[in-house]
Chains A and B, each alone.
Chain A
Amino acid sequence: MRSPVPRGRIREVRFASGLDRSELVVVDHRDLTGPNEVLLIEPDQPVLAADRVRHLHEPVLLLAHPSREALRRAVAAVEIVVDPEPPVLDFTVDPPPGGVQYGDDNVLKRLSIDKGDVETALAGAARIVEGEYRTGAQEHVYLENQGMVAWEEGDVLVVKGSLQCPYYVLKALGHALGRGPDRVRVVQAPTGGGFGGKEEYPSLVALHAALLARKAGRPVKLVYERGEDMEATTKRHPSLVRHRTGVDVEGRLLAQDIEVVLDGGAYVTLSPVVLSRAIIHAAGPYACDHVRIRGRAVFTNSPPYGAFRGFGAPQTIFANERHMDVVAAAVDLDPIELRRRNLIENGQSTATGQVIDDGTDRTALLDRAVELSGWHEKKAAHAELARRHPWRRRGMGLACFHHGAGFTGSGEVVLASRVDVAGLADGRIEVRSGNIEMGQGTLTVFTQIASEASGLAPSAIALAEPDTARVPNSGPTVASRTVMVVGRLIERAIEDLKARLGLPPDAGGDRFAEAIRAAHAERGEAPVGTATYQPPPGVEWDETTYRGDAYAAYAWAVYVAEVEVDLRTYTTRVVDFVALQEVGKVLNETLARGQIQGGVVQGIGWALMEDVVLEDGAMANAQLTNYIIPTSDDVPPIRVTFEETPYAHGARGAKGLGELPIDGPAPAVVNAVARATGTRPTTVPLTPERLMERLEEGRADVA
């Protein structure tokens, strides 16, 4: 049972007379046996609202019943009565109406990056180009909704469900239920899509299921229906990004002054780290000596926005890459040429002062993507089409971008992930990690990595179920870190196991299996190798000044979209898409290609059609009927090309790639629409309605 208003004081929970409560289990905040807090970054989010509600659909009361039908009747017979208070619903209005609800100024987190002297550099610029860009919320639409089963096994509370981060859930359960880690156990069930939507939110679902199971004294299953999943759970943070860019007469970037504002929603949840990734990627893959980035995540009475593939980077990359086209036009340069003149060369540094020297030739990537897309040939055809056809318009657009793999800054060091590899009695090995499969291929690629590192056949590799009673904390399955960071730990744990068995590092295959069997026979227990994260040499980050190596490695990409716009209906169709990226060594071509294609299509959805309509701060179109995601017939084949520069500190030379493909489609597509229509759209999703407004404004300007 959830809050009916975006903000207010709970007056009472009213049960209709005549409701049969004999088998009904009712839980509220008083049933917690620990602090009423969902443990994550800040302790501000309650498990169940006690006296105040801060967003529409905030959980207040839990009901369970053995019969689904009886439960439906009970839900209809309970009313949560709230005295409403004025909510803050617009994150761009400062100061907020209705008073401050968080901290001193309703700002959940502020972060900034400073490099050089922006004001002086702007004063000396030949041109200063300004722009303001907005992106909307995006719903994950994993095909499998949130779901969790909870039960008690003696003294231990067990929760099993759809989730990305078993140890996040474990810690949240232990905290709010006041239980030690030995009395809680979390098991991941094969998860039907996540995209970040099952990073932090499952802690809440697990807590609710656990509270019900404990009170009911029997197992409880809690599975969201699609409508509840869409209106109540997290989404991609809406954003507003302002750019002020100084360039010289040749189009070289002299200064980038960037302001990033994210709508955080009603609780802090992951907004500080989403903001961190957002600002670090805000200046793009360009060399510029003077950069100032001011970021803030702002409180509103919306359901908390949360982790979504890309984690803040897609928002700022959309703004930056759209803005680069605007800058190019202002200095009368081809957008490809403007980028070529500014892309980071090896030895140059990013906004945080991180010197990039990874051997990747970014200019070559740009040229290759342009060539693959047929940019120059198509440009002429598009001009011809515009001359001849009354309403069909085509255009090309591109985006150059990068994505840092793994946790930001010192995040991986703080996580201190651990992987164990055990030798089994029959000579096989078992990899024990808390990293999970949700369709991205963890099981396959971990098997490949372990097989190659051990010299054992894939059939001799077992992967332990992600069960906190059986596997160590190898960190969450997020941030494009699973293969690069955790995969490397698997390699090292196998090396460690060999060393413990007295084998040299290059021993493998039958010799390794024989040593494992012998150890079992000798000691009667499994030999275990282990590895804990160590940062690659030379990686340094200062959390207080935001200077240094923000990520150990970056994937680099250039995406090119060709679109067709119908000037009668204002609909845009992506007709061709080239996705070129450098992701280190590709370990499994089919899976890697699938990640890129899926991410690109999700990005095309965000660019053109996925429009979260907010009413009272929450999603009003919480149905797949009117929240439209791309179908097979809405997108072209996604042409994927990998360039491979092996990365020395990732498993088998790999870097992270899972999030990268969501970053580029929106700016590439919108830049293409801009070129096709001669307008300057600044917002995604660029729905037909928004494009119509743009085109009509343009006509008004001409008139």
Chain B
Amino acid sequence: MSPERGSYADPAVDYHVEIAFTLNGAEVRIRVDPAERLLDVLRYRLGLTGTKEGCAEGECGACTVWIDGLPVDSCLVPAVQARGREVVTIEAVDPMRLRPLLESGATQCGACTPGVVMTALWILDHPDLLETHTVRELMAGNLCRCTGYDGIVEGVLEALEATRDTEREPA
């Protein structure tokens, strides 16, 4: 069975810690159990249920959020580690940026989609990654059981193309 959480050496002591971090651009201050996962704090304490739990062991990527601009599996991050950092979740994403992914069939059931989007947008923000890695390599941390990945890969490539076109437009 699952290990018991919240029971530390001295039952009389309150081990909770208060942390502050930036969440989607706004300051958050919250008391957390030292063993509490960032995923649970986001979903159950702060009501941001867009981030999904798929496996709880860092394999599927459904719970991907950004910490200081890097995609991480929030199921593996103790919430205390968010202290003083900048956390971005799917709720902060501009829906208009998702258009190429929607049109290419990058989403079917949607359960992997929040995580896929967080990784995809990270790739779009760092196109230099593609000098050393393929989209298929960069997306490999996000399992999808519906699409077979072609829709996701095509969506990212099309969005990259669209970004380049926009950059080429004269100001």
Q: Mark A608-652, 1 if CB is under 8 A from B, else 0.
A: 000000000000000111000111111101100000000000000
Q: Which A residue's beta carbon lies closest to that of B115?
A: A143
Name, among B2, B135, B137, B152, the residue most crowded by chain A CB atoms within 10 Å (CB to CB).
Answer: B2
Q: Are B150 and A597 in contact (CB under 8 A)?
A: yes
Q: Are A226 and B5 in contact (CB under 8 A)?
A: no
Given contacts A193-B145, A591-B105, A631-B140, contact A439 B110 (CB under 8 A): yes
Given contacts A72-B2, A439-B109, A602-B145, contact A143 B139 (CB under 8 A): no
Q: Are B1 and A72 in contact (CB under 8 A)?
A: yes
Q: Mark B1-44, 1 if CB is under 8 A from A, else 0.
A: 11011100000000000000000000000000000000000000
Shortest distance between the CB of B116 and any CB in chain A (Å): 10
Q: Are B109 and A143 in contact (CB under 8 A)?
A: yes
A44 part of interface (Cβ distance < 8 Å): no
A-side interface residues, number (CB < 8 Å): 46
Given contacts A142-B109, A193-B109, A625-B59, contact A598 B146 (CB under 8 A): yes
Given contacts A440-B108, A633-B140, contact A144 B149 (CB under 8 A): no
Shortest distance between the CB of A617 and any CB in chain B (Å): 20
Q: Are B149 and A601 in contact (CB under 8 A)?
A: yes
Q: Which B residue's beta carbon lies closest to that of A593?
A: B105
Distance in angstroms between the alpha carbons of A63 and B34 in the assembled complex:
26
Q: Which residues from chain A contact B145 at a C-beta distance below 8 Å?
A: 140-143, 193, 195, 598, 602, 629
Distance in angstroms between the alpha carbons of A669 and B108 in the assembled complex:
25
Show the binding face of A for B, using Cβ within 8 Å.
69, 72-73, 75-76, 140-145, 190-195, 225-226, 438-441, 590-591, 593-594, 596-602, 623-625, 629-635, 637-638
Distance in angstroms between the alpha carbons of A602 and B145 in the assembled complex:
7
Q: Which residues of chain B in 117-140 are interfacial with respect to chain A, using CB atoms and an 8 Å cutoff?
A: 134-137, 139-140
Given contacts A590-B105, A629-B143, A631-B140, contact A143 B52 (CB under 8 A): yes
Q: Which residues from chain A contact B50 at a C-beta distance below 8 Å?
A: none
Q: Which A residue's beta carbon lies closest to that of B154?
A: A637
Q: Which residues from chain A contact B4 at a C-beta distance below 8 Å?
A: 69, 72-73, 76
In the A-B complex, the 9 residue pairs with the smallest Cβ-Cβ separation, listed nearest first, are A439-B109, A192-B111, A439-B108, A597-B148, A601-B148, A143-B111, A624-B59, A632-B149, A144-B111
Q: Are A633 and B150 in contact (CB under 8 A)?
A: no
Q: Are B55 and A624 in contact (CB under 8 A)?
A: yes
B68 part of interface (Cβ distance < 8 Å): no
Q: Which residues of chain B in 80-105 are interfacial with respect to chain A, using CB atoms and an 8 Å cutoff?
A: 103-105
Q: Which residues of chain B in 48-93 are interfacial with respect to chain A, using CB atoms and an 8 Å cutoff?
A: 52, 54-57, 59-60, 62
Q: Which residues from chain B contact A69 at a C-beta distance below 8 Å?
A: 4-6
Q: Are A225 and B56 in contact (CB under 8 A)?
A: yes
Q: Which A residue's beta carbon lies closest to that of B60?
A: A624
Q: Which B residue's beta carbon lies closest to that of A601?
A: B148
28 inter-chain pairs at a CB distance below 8 angstroms, sorted by A residue, are: A69-B5, A69-B6, A72-B2, A73-B4, A140-B145, A143-B62, A143-B111, A143-B112, A144-B111, A145-B54, A194-B109, A590-B104, A594-B150, A596-B148, A597-B149, A598-B144, A623-B57, A624-B54, A624-B55, A624-B143, A625-B57, A632-B135, A632-B139, A632-B142, A632-B144, A633-B134, A633-B140, A637-B150
